[in-house]
Amino acid sequence: MAILLPSQMTARGGFKIPAFPHTTMPDFLTAALYKFVELPDFAELRAPLLACCEAHGVKGTLLLASEGINGTIAGKAEGIHAVLAYLRSDARLTSLEHKEAHAAQMPFYRMKVRLKREIVTLGVPDVHPALMAGEYVKPQDWNQLLDDPALVLVDTRNDYEVSIGTFEGAINPATHSFSELPGWVDQQMAEGGKLAPVDGKKPKVAMFCTGGIRCEKSTALLRSKGFEEVYHLEGGILKYLETMPQAQSRWQGECFVFDERVSVGHGLAQGDFTLCRSCRDPLSAEDRQSPLYELGVSCAHCHANTTEAQKQGYRERQRQVELAEAAQRSHIGTRQPSSD
């Protein structure tokens, strides 16, 4: 699951939650939510939803499309609960689930409700996850599915995410954005590809992503292409890491997340990766030992791709970030990659 405000939206469209000093008690509740559901009247939902959020002091971004809703909001707990109750008062959103986190300061600067063609961009018409998604597999049943030797296991995330951790035996499509996945699927369905039919029968496929949203849509894509045995990990990698004891886990490495933790491990403990603020690739402790690494400015992956003038701009941005942190304020220049 899949997880992103000019000030708080990432360069690739994702949401972020800035880090705040641990010495301050959290005063704000954030809620990340999504649901694929047929909403043909989604444009008419925008104004009353925005009014509800503003009336309760809630900020963030919510995306509405004919295929459902997706976004992250923050505010006082009572305000967040009021907005969630309002959303669930629509019979189509009664089962809407959300994930909560806390922040010491308001992580968003305004409230936006945006109308979109898709709540997560795949770029393929007539793929309807609410009607066509694959079969959910609970985290506690995932290992048993992986034991099937005929299974084709596909990581639907982007290459920079896969690079720091994935499930044993998973195929990495090496995409840079989610919208590249359909092309990879078509390529792999050709003779000799990982998704090519065997003796005239399409293979059994399981897919997974960070929080669930991308694998719901990717399994719907496969169903639209005639695959019958298609499965996806319910709640995504995050739910698996939260649920499964490490001793029984098939997960290898860490899981990239779209907030200031950068990565998490089993039990959702914060991982060892940080983020390059120039190219936004995750960096290991070893990466940060490179002579080309400069906090907030460059890393070995991107040092050669930016000019000295750009690096000077990044140094000034980093100086402003550090000043904001010292004053216990968030800084609008801090950005994360998105889940697209």
End-to-end CA distance of the chain: 11
Classified as helix, coil or strand, 252 is strand
Closest alpha carbon to 213 in 227, 233, 229, 228: 233
- Backbone φ and ψ of 320, nearest 5°: -65, -40
Whether residue 215 lies in the annotated active site: no
Closest alpha carbon to 142 in 195, 204, 206, 202: 206
Cα-Cα-Cα-Cα torsion 28, 257, 119, 86, nearest 10 degrees, comes to -20
- Backbone φ and ψ of 65, nearest 5°: -150, 170
Query: What is the Cα–Cα distance from 159 to 163, expressed in whole angstroms?
Result: 6
Query: Residue 22: how many CB atoms within 10 A of its CB?
Result: 8
> How many residues in total does the chain contain?
340
Q: Which residue in this structure is represented by tokens 């704000």?
A: 28
Six-digit token string for 161: 């995410």
Six-digit token string for 112: 């936006």
Catalytic entry in 53, 209, 276, 299: 209
User: Residues 66, 116: contact at Cβ < 8 Å?
Assistant: no
Closest alpha carbon to 208 in 254, 174, 171: 171
Six-digit token string for 109: 């600067």
Q: Which residues contact 62 (CB under 8 A, 6 or more apart)?
A: 49, 53, 69, 70, 71, 73, 112, 113, 114
Classified as helix, coil or strand, 180 is helix
User: Residues 88, 59: contact at Cβ < 8 Å?
Assistant: no
Q: Which residues belong to the active site?
A: 209
